[in-house]
Structure 1
Amino acid sequence: MAQKKNSAFELHIKKAIATITIDGVMDETDWQQAEVAGNFFMVLPMDTSHAKVPTEVRMTYDAQNLYIITVCNLVKPGPYMVESLRRDFAFGKNDNFIFFIDPFDDRTNGFTFGANAAGAQWDGALYNGGSADLSWDNKWTSVVKNYDDKWVFEAAIPFKSIRYKKGITTWGINFSRLDIKEAEKSAWAPVPRQFPTASLAYTGNLIWDAAPPDAGTNVSFIPYVLGGLNKNFDTHTKPEYRKDIGADAKIALTSSLNLDLTINPDFSQVEVDKQVTNLDRFELFFPERRQFFLENADMFANFGYTSIRPFFSRRIGLGVPINYGARLSGSIDKNWRIGIMDMQTKTVDATGLPAQNFAVLALQRRLFARSNIKLMLVNKQSINYQPGKDTTKPTYSLYNRNLGLEYNLASANNKWTGKAMMLKSFTPGKSNNDFVHAANLQYTTKKWIVAWQHEYVGKNYNAEVGYVPRNNYIKLNPQVSYLFFPKKGKVLSHGPLVNSAYYFNENFHQTDNESFLAYKFNYRKQNTFMAWVAHDYVELLKPFDPTNSGKDTLATGTQHRWNAWGTEYVSKPQKLFTYGFTTRYGGYYADGKRLNITADLGYRFQPFVSITLSTSYNNIDLPKPWGNTNFWLIGPRFDITMTNKLFFTTFVQYNDQQKNINLNTRLQWRYKPASDLFLVYTDNYYPAPLSVRNRALVLKFTYWWNM
């Protein structure tokens, strides 16, 4: 096994001899005697020197918690730069300190915690060697204290809140600091600028004076009670009143293996999806946000590619209540990880949908330095159901199964990454051409990115619990980009990117191609600009309405070619007012024209209020019967964060294409760590004339109880 790149960077941690108070004041004797991790390395704008902005980190522990205190010194006096006190903030828009722990030292999975300079918390689960899932949420406490010349972050992470292997005395760890005024990102253990500071391949070592304490009995019970009402104004029916109770439970079978249980789960507090104007021929993807599905989610959700996912948890409970579910997930040892999930949904008499069981098995074996091989089995089964027995109701499949094998490549220094996979589906009445093969390989350095990806999806491949919007194709996708680094000036780096995606049918007849040439400028103040040109070719495989508005369709087999150009810009984050825009102009289907302009505006009254406005305008000029079509999508959002425990969000979305206005407001009070009170109000309106379609109000109370 290759030695870790930054194994020489060591921070020794000793057990505390006295009580640590989380108050942002470094007055305890244990802090004075703790070893200091300092002398950070600059990552951005360049990775060739030590950081200009000094940072010092100390760690200790006791029988219950892992403690950390960080002094983030300032070079220039002045106010910090943050969006708000909202949890899991946007990394690049906040002065922040974040750290990454790799409890198995496998350079693949771990956890991240931190805060911005105003005290907003950040936590997430790390997977794939450095990707962060910020939807992961657990119990921990922190305080940020501000001074004229520095800000101090202090936190306690309960051992019960993380997963680690008993007896291991070396963990991977790294610390990351972003100071927006200085436009500097730094890390304790050096990380090449082309990789995120979360890259576990570049962690240093946290050396324990003894094995971390056993978390002991680790059982959490998380009940909820809910009341609410729904009113449908279209059907003129009476309001429907809701009274629900349910619960989740977390049982640590070992310090690294967890059993999650849920009964009658409710996800009404989950934030609404950000809408888009849909001009695509295929189904759009919206990420999972429900908490139950998120711990160790990479074991289930990251098998495959962006558009080839044999398992997509949002298929479970889609328009149907979930009765109960269980998930066993975590690490068996340093080399083996496992994920088992079983969910049971209810019947829906109105549509004849039977009760269904969803079962998933994922097994992962570590190979070499940071690579792994994974096996996945997905089974969807209808319970006590005979397809076609009731001719007045839709017919549903009796079962659908997927079996897959995947190899993930990640070199010790992260320069080489890739994946190779095989999938086969099993569905009644469908056989032959029901498998998938795909692979990719990417080489990444400071200046070069060279990548290749190919995919084959058979015409009878079927993943009813997955996200595979397209089948019956072969795809070839090369990509190359290069960066130049001027020695001085406002531009930090610039360079071209070439990407081309070719689609063929099983007879290798070309059906699609998009060739894309871009040139990007990265500035020292972190603003970016890109200009691009593209050529598209599409042979329609089925009828398609190019406006997705129900006017008419273009015929199967018709061929369409066009050229387009566009720009993208993101402003520097140092200002209270930030903005970004994209433009696109050029050809479209049926020799038409399409103009698209998007704008994202933001203003912050830090740290309490953040206002953003996302706007998209599409003008599509086509021959009759479509003619000239205009689509607006406008989404103002107001985040009011009274404290880092009390949040109020209002999100309005006007979607011209769907002829709908959506209003979603949510008040969240985190009265104790991981325990919340939610008040959620939702309206949907017809825009013209303005009238209510439906309305809902929900009050939900959750409590995290450690038994």
Structure 2
Amino acid sequence: MKILGTILFILTVSLLNAAPLRVLKNDTINDTHNKDFVYNVKKAQSSIIIDGVLDEPDWQAAQKAQPFYRVLPVDTGFAYQQSEVLMTYDDEALYMAFVFYDTVPGKRIMESFRRDFNFGNNDNFLSFFDTFLDQTNGFSFGISASGAKWDGTMSDGSAVNLDWDCKWEAETVHHDDRWVSEMRIPFKSVRYPSGGQRWNVNFSRLDLKTNEKSSWAPVPRQFPTASLAYTGVMRFDEPLPKSRINFSLIPYIYGSFANDYEFGDGAAYDKDFGFDAKIGFSSALNLDLTYNPDFAQVEVDQQVTNIDRFELFFPEKRQFFLENSDLFSGFGYHTVTPFFSRRIGLDAPVLAGARLSGKLGNDWRIGFMNMATRETSEHLARNFTVASVQKKVFTRSNFGFIFVNKEYLNQPDSTNLFNRVAGFDYNLASKNNFWEGKFFYHRSFQPGNPDKQYSQGARLEYQTKNIQVELSQTSVGENYCAETGYVPRTGYNFLGPEIRYLFVPNKKVVSHGIEVELENYFDPDYKKIEHIYTYSYMFEFQNRSSLEFGYQDSYVKLQKDFDPTHINNHSLAAGSSYRFGGAYINYMSPSKNLFNWQAEAAKGTFYNGNIQYIQGQLGYRFQPYVNLTMNFNYTDMDLPQPFEHTKLWLLGPKLDVTFSKNIFWTTFVQYNEQLDNMNINMRFQWRYQPVSDIYLVYTDNYIPGSWNSRNRALVLKMTYWLN
């Protein structure tokens, strides 16, 4: 397996040797695929009022970014619903104006006023800025038809992390034949090279009434319009303002009530304060500080019924960890990464932390994080340090190094508790985005330093409109230990080819095709211990609905005792082998419908018994004020004695009310039979100033059946952004 990984690594480097390494200067452009799409941004001669009315002289003089090209359902020709984008700037901010022509009868689709809206459920406009011309990292800003904002940081060439927020303004006005938006984005809210005059940019529009996605610089349909490899070019009249130290302070205060009825601790009242701070040393390098952070306002995770043998993954949502997060969490694979920020503060409160991240020059990025957690009755105080550096090579590729250190503080003299990981990653991305890949090697260090503390992987993918081929490989040693990472299993070798072929007839069925994914796991001696073979056929329809059906064949030789239900006192024995499989079908309705739904149903054998399940989500919106959803999962497992016939329900009704662009209320109820718990989480948010909020959060957990409360809490929190 390691030999295969080395071969893949050599092949990826060879593929890119044809792409010359360019040194970026003020007057050169690191060519994108759409380098001939150029927008000249003129400097404003007078003030711009953000009101959605384009009556200022600078808008009349601005160049129009038009026409827009179709991306979906097919990437041929011009968009049916056309759009225009105008830009100007001054010494403080970038201004954008959008005109979205709408001549199709019917209401515009707008789910709610909530910030960072669901892209597929709204008519919307998005912009993507590659400020350092590396076609890998950037910023995204957008607006929905309701006027809801979208902002996020970009990494890996197209991924957008929407949990990042910054200060900016936007207003939207509706007319019979169009809707118009204006934006003002302060330069201090984004990172860019001081004195530069060029960014890469693209604009994307989703119009659900015509089921059409379009962009200014054309993008092949197999890629997202966020793909920075297909951006056009922005030229500013004059060099952008030089950076200066920017300082933002975000203090918070909170008070809380809690009562844990199960442990009988009685009512507890608490009050505290803390702060976050942001220091921009330059327009490219940022220092984040936090003291006594509180994350009570973070949205709760959506629960799932767990029938897997390994730990589940839940994404990071805490604001402090998000900007440039790929510098820390982007190493390795999703299934074996040396750093997973949710490990910090999971079992003990965070005392304080600092995070330095950003660019040094055109080709280098750095990241440094240091966090300390408090001592509790169960855990010593701990210090977490992460350091990384990334160097851009060739056109869009990079290599990086990471070091992670977890140190226990105030240890007894007889102990030496620590965990460290060091590693190297190479990320491949070809100029046209058709080739992608990765190679990595990581090693852990811990007391005693046993052998086989490595994790290594390689992946190579080729993707066009019709065909996608991927080969991935992983090897993880038995003693590899990344306590601050996400490594659900160790002591295995993995090989996984995958191929998909799509026909694109451009009719009522826009595309259809077959996919085969073969996942193979081997023990350290390369004896097979597991495989998951998935054969599927998929259809994408013109109304943006989709249908997929297939068959999954599985084989497992258990390495540890395992209870598939997670609720019995019985287990399948380690060393026993099972071959099982079943058929499934998945359907997703059109997002534009007020009532929309998606569901997956499956039936087959499961280990030494049988299983059937249905899961999905139902939704209805009273746009743009109320959005009702219901997550559901019903799992029926019938395993032979000594297991009992197990039927599990998981129901998650959610009510999301957006009274305005600044006032929101969410109630999320999750009834989980597998956990024998019902959780209620209610959150009220008032954004009384830009990025400044008052939260009122109520949480209660009940025992199903008796409906006695396990524990409940009420938190009032206020934050204010001083900038």
| Matched AA of 2:169 | T
Distance 1:252 1:334 in 2: 17
Distance 2:459 2:634 in 1: 35
The SS at the match of 1:197 is coil
Deviations 1:624-673 (A, max 9, x none): 12121000000001110011111111100000100000000111111111
Q: TM-score, normalised by structure 2?
A: 0.95
Identity of aligned residues (%): 48
2:404 is the alignment partner of 1:369: no
Task: State whether residues 71 and 153 of structure 1, in contact with CA within 8 Å, keep that contact through their aligned partners in structure 2.
Answer: yes
Deviations 1:58-83 (A, max 9, x none): 01111211110100110213311121
| Matched AA of 1:380 | K
Report the Cα offset of residue 487 of structure 1: 4.7
Unaligned runs of 5+ in 1: 390-396
2:165 is the alignment partner of 1:141: no
Report the Cα offset of residue 542 of structure 1: 0.5
Report the Cα offset of residue 384 of structure 1: 2.1
Distance 1:58 1:216 in 2: 28
> Which residue of structure 2 aligns with residue 17 of structure 1?
45
| Matched AA of 1:364 | Q
Report the Cα offset of residue 690 of structure 1: 1.0
Distance 2:196 2:494 in 1: 44
The SS at the match of 1:690 is coil
Distance 2:579 2:53 in 1: 64
The SS at the match of 1:693 is strand
Distance 2:470 2:673 in 1: 38
2:385 to 347, 353, 359: 359
Distance 2:113 2:242 in 1: 33
> Which residue of structure 2 aligns with residue 683 of structure 1?
700
| Matched AA of 1:242 | D
> Which residue of structure 1 aligns with residue 447 of structure 2?
428
> Which residue of structure 2 aligns with residue 393 of structure 1?
none
Q: Aligned-residue CA RMSD in angstroms?
A: 1.0
Task: State whether residues 104 and 168 of structure 1, in contact with CA within 8 Å, keep that contact through their aligned partners in structure 2.
Answer: no
Runs of 4+ in 1 over 3 A off after TM superposition: none
Distance 1:399 1:217 in 2: 36
Task: State whether residues 387 and 398 of structure 1, in contact with CA within 8 Å, keep that contact through their aligned partners in structure 2.
Answer: no
Deviations 1:587-609 (A, max 9, x none): 1012x000010131110000001
Distance 2:658 2:242 in 1: 36
The SS at the match of 1:172 is strand
Distance 2:448 2:606 in 1: 38
Task: State whether residues 77 and 149 of structure 1, in contact with CA within 8 Å, keep that contact through their aligned partners in structure 2.
Answer: no
| Matched AA of 1:384 | N
Change (3 A) 1:551 1:387: farther
> Which residue of structure 1 aligns with residue 117 of structure 2?
89
| Matched AA of 2:292 | N
Task: State whether residues 122 and 592 of structure 2, in contact with CA within 8 Å, keep that contact through their aligned partners in structure 1.
Answer: no
Report the Cα offset of residue 448 of structure 1: 0.4
Task: State whether residues 252 and 275 of structure 2, in contact with CA within 8 Å, keep that contact through their aligned partners in structure 1.
Answer: yes
The SS at the match of 1:178 is strand
Task: State whether residues 78 and 148 of structure 1, in contact with CA within 8 Å, keep that contact through their aligned partners in structure 2.
Answer: no
Report the Cα offset of residue 388 of structure 1: 6.8
Mean Cα displacement is larger for which, 39-48 or 82-91? Answer: 82-91
| Matched AA of 2:354 | A
| Matched AA of 2:633 | S
Task: State whether residues 515 and 536 of structure 2, in contact with CA within 8 Å, keep that contact through their aligned partners in structure 1.
Answer: yes
Report the Cα offset of residue 486 of structure 1: 1.8
2:637 to 620, 623, 640: 620
Query: How many residues are paired up?
Result: 695
| Matched AA of 2:625 | F
Mean Cα displacement is larger for which, 459-468 or 213-222? Answer: 213-222
2:719 is the alignment partner of 1:699: no
> Which residue of structure 1 aligns with residue 652 of structure 2?
635
Task: State whether residues 244 and 280 of structure 2, in contact with CA within 8 Å, keep that contact through their aligned partners in structure 1.
Answer: no
2:666 is the alignment partner of 1:649: yes
2:101 is the alignment partner of 1:73: yes
The SS at the match of 1:422 is strand
Task: State whether residues 159 and 215 of structure 1, in contact with CA within 8 Å, keep that contact through their aligned partners in structure 2.
Answer: no
The SS at the match of 2:469 is strand
1:581 to 599, 606, 614: 599
Report the Cα offset of residue 225 of structure 1: 0.5
Task: State whether residues 551 and 625 of structure 1, in contact with CA within 8 Å, keep that contact through their aligned partners in structure 2.
Answer: no
Deviations 1:332-382 (A, max 9, x none): 11100000000011111x22x211110000100000000000000000001
Q: TM-score, normalised by structure 1?
A: 0.97
Distance 2:525 2:332 in 1: 24
Distance 1:215 1:15 in 2: 18
Report the Cα offset of residue 215 of structure 1: 4.5
> Which residue of structure 2 aligns with residue 263 of structure 1?
291
| Matched AA of 1:565 | A
> Which residue of structure 2 aligns with residue 451 of structure 1?
470
Distance 1:705 1:113 in 2: 22
| Matched AA of 2:161 | D
2:640 is the alignment partner of 1:604: no
Task: State whether residues 568 and 643 of structure 2, in contact with CA within 8 Å, keep that contact through their aligned partners in structure 1.
Answer: no
Mean Cα displacement is larger for which, 206-215 or 461-470? Answer: 206-215
Report the Cα offset of residue 89 of structure 1: 1.2
Report the Cα offset of residue 568 of structure 1: 0.5
Distance 1:325 1:66 in 2: 32
Task: State whether residues 75 and 220 of structure 2, in contact with CA within 8 Å, keep that contact through their aligned partners in structure 1.
Answer: yes
Report the Cα offset of residue 160 of structure 1: 1.1
Distance 1:494 1:79 in 2: 30
> Which residue of structure 2 aligns with residue 405 of structure 1?
424
| Matched AA of 1:319 | D
Task: State whether residues 64 and 215 of structure 1, in contact with CA within 8 Å, keep that contact through their aligned partners in structure 2.
Answer: no
Unaligned runs of 5+ in 2: 1-19, 21-29
2:315 to 276, 282, 287: 287
> Which residue of structure 1 aligns with residue 502 of structure 2?
483
2:531 is the alignment partner of 1:503: no
2:160 is the alignment partner of 1:132: yes
